[in-house]
């Protein structure tokens, strides 16, 4: 690019930014004028937000509160809105002071701001009815404040907020407060309340006259904003309409498209459980036949990533039953073997899948790994000769490939040849997974996560874990993390709850974990990593 | 004459009633609200945990016998701040020295003392609460303490144990008995341990009441863990002394306690450290921020506050001075160093939770006064941290939230 062009580009961007900022300032000034000239109270407080944004942009919280107080003195009809905005300003100001650690002001003025917040929000509530959005927002700010403080008013103000929202929904024409309240409640973990509000909101925005494409656009908009809760509520209505409108040949591609959209995919918004809900509708409508191999794999993989292993296994089995020659068949068989053996504690059933793969002539990653797991299970049962056969077959079959699995097999062979016990971490995992008396280690107290999954060969992948332990106050329980399985080059120390590794070859890697405390095993975990 | 006689008898009756009343007791108000009464007056415990171990020493140091009398220097600073109570976990080995400390603090600064006992929690290899001989040993130790100090006007109440209840869950200081070992269900094992432990505490509480009707007996407890068993097994304790580290607030603690074990609560240990483990520097503001917020919630839940639960008697923040021995307690050289390492993690203290391995709680930095290596009158110089001033100001003007008008 020529220098002159660059200069023009920079100048024009600057001018554009200045122009935009100037336009905003001008709009705020207009709004200020409109507010000052208000003749009577308007329940939705038009213009206040624009003016507030202008002040808050420069962190002029006190100035805005002072402006609103002066305004109230001059013009009583703006008082309810002004009071709400003072409350909101103080709420944001306290947050800002804490986040920025501006402690002098926080300690010196905090009580005054809190008092302002509560009394102004209450004044706004007293001066309005639940039909006014100003009341809804005031109650929302008040509840957030109490909830953040977890004080005695939190529950009471939530009940009052919910009641007011119900009243508001009956007569409201502007539904945004319902959505905003639902978003905020959802952010605070009030899932059932937010779900109910999303339902109310959806009922309002979806009129019987609104056409189906509009509905889809609306839902897709919320999906792309990452508001999956609301998107799902609207998609539910959309799906209902699509099915009702028929015919099924037309509806099925829409539904499968949605199932794909919500299925597990790294770094994109997804909700595997909702995807499965849609898959179930697809199956209801079109039967199993509508699932081609790719869609069936997607469904099974989605459930596997959502850690619904028992159901995932069923669909992997279904996939290989319907499409035995599928490109996904080996992976599906291998994962079925892993799930049966190490998750569902059914090594007998699992072995059949490993054996099926081990018989294959070509050396693909799953056949090679299956040989390893067959050897491992025999070694754990002290059938060293049997184990050796599998490991030796693996090394021979792998030739120069599958370096990480070959390395594991060689390690195991060395143990057998030198009459050494199976590596401690691995042995502990197998004991915890396969011995009858270890049935209480059901993976409910150890959670694992893989990022990214799938991973690329030779690129970083992080496997992390969290263990749920009993309370111990300020006496920390020292935990040990016994990692084993497909760790590639990594040998994580026992005090690390996470590891970072690189897999040299593609395939399905299985990482085992047992977490222990000084008094014994807490639980076991497993991570299944796709490398492709 | 008749009037004079009436007055005489009225005065006599009042005095007799006053004499019959315990020095300190808990008054139950309406709606399960509770108030601590000390010498006839309602008292909010504005307390601090006290263990003035000097730089270079460890917990074995007998500060009670320190000729430099650290409690006199500290008592003055405490009084200026508004502290009215110290909590000590266990008295020192010399009863005369302990008596002197209690007297000095009360006579000179009006500061009362809460005395406690660990109930063998730190015994190695384990506290054997299932063993009668073990129980008798520690019961005797507690009753000896009560006999020795019950007549001291400065004593406020007794606390039995601290976070001993965690041992019943089996992860810290685990213990068992033959009977427990026979039970295959781990949940039932836990329940058995709680019942054994709380019955032991209850037994001691009953004995204390016989010996000393003048002071309440508290059950020291980590969080509210196990209190559903204390309801059946420890009905004779007068209050619960909870150890709580929940960051900015205590959450629904006061309400939950009412639902599980309706007894008054003293926040017997809470607070925040003054070291940012993420930025690796002292942060007095962070500590002051948490403490101010915690005291605000304590005040919201005191008796007669119509908006709170009304079952809180006050609290004892952890702690008065830093303790330099705590991070690496087995190395005497480390006791001379103000260690910045952290041993435990608590996500509720969110400013520095991104520290390595999330370990953000710096055990040597909990003092609301820091210690200097420089000495003054034989003591490490005390340097009040910001929390000292912030909490002092809060106590002067403990602003409650604006009164409710209609429904919120």
Q: Are strands B265-270 and B239-243 parallel, antiparallel or unpaired?
A: parallel
Q: For residue B171, what pLDDT is reported?
A: 83
Does any domain span residue B266? Answer: yes
Q: For residue A28, what pLDDT is reported?
A: 73
Does any domain span residue A346? Answer: no
Contact A479, A522 (CB under 8 A): yes
- Nearest-Cα residue of chain B relative to residue A104: B285
Backbone angles phi, psi at B198, to 5 degrees: -70, -30
Does any domain span residue A286? Answer: no
Range of the domain at B275: 22-396
Q: Is A118 on the interface with B (CB under 8 A)?
A: yes
pLDDT at B17 over 50: no
Beta-carbon separation of A150 and B307 below 8 A? no
Does any domain span residue B152? Answer: yes
Does any domain span residue A83? Answer: yes
CB atoms within 10 A of CB B20: 8
Burial of A172 (0-12, 13-18, 19+ CB in 10 A): buried
Integer Rg of chain B from CA:
22
Using alpha carbons, select from A342, A325, A258 the residue that is nearest to residue A295: A258
Using alpha carbons, select from A272, A268, A338, A326 the residue that is nearest to residue A300: A272
Q: Report residue B10's pLDDT band, with 50, 70 and 90 as the boundaries.
A: low
Count of domains observed in chain A: 2
Does any domain span residue A518? Answer: yes
- Nearest-Cα residue of chain A relative to residue B306: A152
Contact A152, B300 (CB under 8 A): yes
Query: What residues have CB less than 8 Å from A79, skipping those under 6 apart?
Result: A41, A72, A123, A127
Please write the tens of the pLDDT for every residue from A37-95.
777 777 778 789 999 999 999 999 999 999 999 998 888 888 999 999 999 999 999 99
Mutation site for A-interface testing, chosen from B401, B404, B405, B406 by largest number of A Cβ within 10 Å: B401
- List the structure tokens of B407: 């429904």
Please write the tens of the pLDDT for every residue from B109-162.
999 999 999 999 998 888 999 999 999 999 999 999 999 999 999 999 999 999
pLDDT at A307 over 60: yes
Q: For residue A520, what pLDDT is reported?
A: 87
In whole angstroms, what separates CA B236 from the centre of its chain?
Answer: 19
| Residues A207, A182: Cα–Cα separation, whole Å | 20
Beta-carbon separation of B343 and A142 below 8 A? no
- Nearest-Cα residue of chain A relative to residue B403: A119
CATH label of the domain that carries residue B231: 3.20.20.80
Using alpha carbons, select from A455, A458, A438, A462 the residue that is nearest to residue A516: A438
Q: Which of A107, A139, A174 is the last residue of a domain?
A: A174
- Nearest-Cα residue of chain A relative to residue B302: A152
Beta-carbon separation of B249 and A151 below 8 A? yes
Query: What residues have CB less than 8 Å from A244, skipping those under 6 apart?
Result: none
Backbone angles phi, psi at B158, to 5 degrees: -110, 140
Does any domain span residue A75? Answer: yes
Does any domain span residue A251? Answer: no
Q: Is A477 on the interface with B (CB under 8 A)?
A: yes
Does any domain span residue B4? Answer: no
Please write the tens of the pLDDT for every residue from A151-206.
778 888 999 999 999 999 988 888 899 999 999 999 999 988 998 999 888 888 88
Q: For residue B401, what pLDDT is reported?
A: 56
Does any domain span residue A378? Answer: no
Range of the domain at A489: 443-531
Mean of the pLDDT values across residues A282-307? Answer: 95
The secondary structure of B160-199, three-state, reads ECCCHHHHHHCCCCCCCCHHHHHCCCHHHHHHHHHHHHHH
Q: Is A478 on the interface with B (CB under 8 A)?
A: no
pLDDT at A481 over 80: yes
Does any domain span residue A186? Answer: no
DSSP character string of B49-95? E---PPTT--TT--GGG-TT-HHHHHHHHHHHHT--EEEESS--S-H
Going across the sheet that includes B41-43, the strands are: B24-29, B33-38, B41-43
Q: What is the pTM of this model?
A: 0.82
Does any domain span residue B1? Answer: no
| Residues A319, A297: Cα–Cα separation, whole Å | 7
Please write the tens of the pLDDT for every residue from B314-355.
999 999 999 999 999 999 999 999 999 998 889 999 999 999
Contact B387, B368 (CB under 8 A): yes
Q: Is A518 on the interface with B (CB under 8 A)?
A: yes
Mean pLDDT, all residues of chain B: 92
Q: For residue A9, what pLDDT is reported?
A: 44
- List the structure tokens of A163: 């009641």
3-state DSSP assignment of residue A524: strand
- In B298-368, at which residue ranges do the beta strands (DSSP E only) sit? 312-317
Please write the tens of the pLDDT for every residue from B53-66.
999 999 999 999 99
Q: For residue A75, what pLDDT is reported?
A: 83
CATH label of the domain that carries residue A480: 2.60.40.10
Q: Which of A143, A174, A205 is the last residue of a domain?
A: A174
pLDDT at A18 over 60: no
Mean of the pLDDT values across residues B190-210? Answer: 98
Count of domains observed in chain B: 1
Query: Which residues of chain B have a CB within 8 Å of the CB of A517?
Result: 171
Q: For residue A154, what pLDDT is reported?
A: 86
Q: For residue B9, what pLDDT is reported?
A: 53
Q: For residue A350, what pLDDT is reported?
A: 97
- Torsion, Cα B359 B365 B368 B374, to 10 degrees, reads -170
pLDDT at B292 over 60: yes
Beta-carbon separation of B249 and A150 below 8 A? yes
Q: For residue A22, what pLDDT is reported?
A: 56
Query: Which residues of chain A have a CB within 8 Å of the CB of B289?
Result: 98, 103, 106
Does any domain span residue B14? Answer: no
Q: Is A188 on the interface with B (CB under 8 A)?
A: no
Does any domain span residue B205? Answer: yes
Q: Which of A174, A193, A208 is the last residue of a domain?
A: A174
Q: 């050796």: which residue's tokens? A: A388
Q: For residue A469, what pLDDT is reported?
A: 83
């Amino acid at each position: 690019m020529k220098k002159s062009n660059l200069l023009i580009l920079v100048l024009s961007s600057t001018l554009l930014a200045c122009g935009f900022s100037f336009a905003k300032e001008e709009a705020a000034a207009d709004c200020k004028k409109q507010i000052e000239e208000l003749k009577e109270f308007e329940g939705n407080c038009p213009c206040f937000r624009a003016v507030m944004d202008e002040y808050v942009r420069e962190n002029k919280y006190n100035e805005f509160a002072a402006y609103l107080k002066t305004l109230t003195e001059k013009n009583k009809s703006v008082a309810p809105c002004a009071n709400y905005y003072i409350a909101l300003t103080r709420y944001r100001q306290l947050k800002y002071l804490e986040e920025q650690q501006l402690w002098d002001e926080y300690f010196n003025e905090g009580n005054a701001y809190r008092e302002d917040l509560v009394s102004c929000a209450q004044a706004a509530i007293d001066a309005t009815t639940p039909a006014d959005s100003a009341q809804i927002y005031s109650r929302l700010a008040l509840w957030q404040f109490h909830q953040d403080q977890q004080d005695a008013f939190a529950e009471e103000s939530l009940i009052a907020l919910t009641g007011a929202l119900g009243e508001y929904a009956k007569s409201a024409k502007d539904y945004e407060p319902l959505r905003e309240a639902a978003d905020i409640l959802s952010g605070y973990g009030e899932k059932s309340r937010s779900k109910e509000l999303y339902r109310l909101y959806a009922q309002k925005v979806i009129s019987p006259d609104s056409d189906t494409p509009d509905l889809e656009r609306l839902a897709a908009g919320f999906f792309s904003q990452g508001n999956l809760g609301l998107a799902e509520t609207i998609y539910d209505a959309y799906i209902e309409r699509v099915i009702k409108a028929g015919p099924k040949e037309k509806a099925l591609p829409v539904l499968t498209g949605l199932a794909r959209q919500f299925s597990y995919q790294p770094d994109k918004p997804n909700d595997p459980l909702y995807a499965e809900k849609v898959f179930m509708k697809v199956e209801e409508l079109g039967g199993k036949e509508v699932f081609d191999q790719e869609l069936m794999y997607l469904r099974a993989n989605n459930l596997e990533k959502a850690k619904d292993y028992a159901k995932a296994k069923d669909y992997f089995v279904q996939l290989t039953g319907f499409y035995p020659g599928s490109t996904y068949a080996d992976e599906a068989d291998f994962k079925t073997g892993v799930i049966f053996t190490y998750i569902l504690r059914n090594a007998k059933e699992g072995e059949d899948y490993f054996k099926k793969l081990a018989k294959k002539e070509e050396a693909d990653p799953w056949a090679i790994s299956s040989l390893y797991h067959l050897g491992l299970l025999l070694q754990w049962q002290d059938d060293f000769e049997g184990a050796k056969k599998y490991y030796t077959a693996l090394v021979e079959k792998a030739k120069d490939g599958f370096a990480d699995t070959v390395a594991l097999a060689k390690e195991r062979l060395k143990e057998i040849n030198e009459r050494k016990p199976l590596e401690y971490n691995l042995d502990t995992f197998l004991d915890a997974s396969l011995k009858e008396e270890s049935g209480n280690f059901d993976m409910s107290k150890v959670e694992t996560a893989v990022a990214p999954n799938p991973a690329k060969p030779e690129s970083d992948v992080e496997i992390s874990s969290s263990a749920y332990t009993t309370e111990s106050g300020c006496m920390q329980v020292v935990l040990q993390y016994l990692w084993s399985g497909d760790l590639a080059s990594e040998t994580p120390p026992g005090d690390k709850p996470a590891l970072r590794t690189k897999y040299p070859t593609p395939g399905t890697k299985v990482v085992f974990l047992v977490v222990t405390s000084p008094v014994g095993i807490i639980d076991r975990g497993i991570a299944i990593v796709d490398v492709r | 004459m008749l009037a004079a006689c009436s007055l005489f008898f009225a005065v006599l009756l009042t005095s007799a009633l006053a004499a019959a009343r315990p020095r300190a007791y808990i008054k139950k108000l309406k709606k399960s609200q509770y108030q601590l009464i000390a010498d006839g007056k309602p008292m909010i415990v504005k307390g601090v945990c006290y263990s003035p171990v000097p730089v270079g020493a460890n917990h074995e140091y007998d500060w009670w016998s320190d000729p430099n009398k650290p409690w006199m220097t500290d008592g003055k600073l405490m009084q200026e701040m508004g502290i009215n109570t110290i909590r000590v976990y266990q008295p020192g080995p010399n009863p005369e020295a302990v008596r002197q400390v209690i007297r000095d603090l009360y006579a000179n600064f009006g500061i009362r003392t809460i005395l406690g006992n660990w109930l063998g929690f730190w015994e190695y290899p384990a506290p054997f609460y299932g063993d009668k001989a073990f129980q008798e040993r520690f019961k005797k130790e507690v009753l000896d303490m009560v006999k020795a100090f019950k007549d001291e006007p400065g004593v406020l109440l007794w606390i039995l144990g601290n976070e001993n209840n965690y041992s019943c869950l089996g992860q810290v200081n685990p213990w068992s008995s033959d009977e427990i070992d026979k039970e295959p269900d781990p949940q039932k094992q836990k329940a058995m341990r709680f019942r054994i432990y709380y019955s032991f505490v209850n037994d001691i509480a009953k004995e204390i009441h016989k010996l000393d009707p003048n002071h309440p007996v508290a059950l020291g407890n980590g969080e509210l863990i196990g209190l559903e068993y204390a309801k059946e097994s420890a009905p004779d304790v007068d209050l619960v002394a909870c150890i709580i580290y929940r960051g900015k607030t205590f959450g629904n603690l006061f309400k939950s306690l009412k639902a599980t074990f309706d007894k008054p609560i003293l926040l017997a240990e809470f607070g925040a450290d003054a070291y940012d483990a993420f930025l690796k520097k002292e942060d007095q503001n962070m500590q002051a921020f948490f403490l101010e917020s915690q005291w605000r919630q304590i005040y919201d839940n005191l008796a007669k506050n119509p908006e709170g639960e009304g079952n809180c008697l006050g609290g004892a923040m952890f702690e008065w001075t830093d303790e330099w021995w705590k991070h690496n307690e087995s190395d005497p050289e480390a006791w001379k160093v103000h260690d910045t390492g952290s041993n435990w993690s608590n996500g509720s203290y969110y400013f520095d939770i991104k520290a390595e391995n999330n370990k953000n709680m710096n055990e040597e930095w909990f003092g609301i006064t820091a210690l200097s290596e420089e000495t003054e009158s034989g003591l490490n110089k005390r340097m009040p941290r910001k929390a000292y001033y912030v909490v002092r100001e809060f106590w002067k003007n403990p602003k409650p939230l604006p009164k409710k008008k209609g429904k919120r």
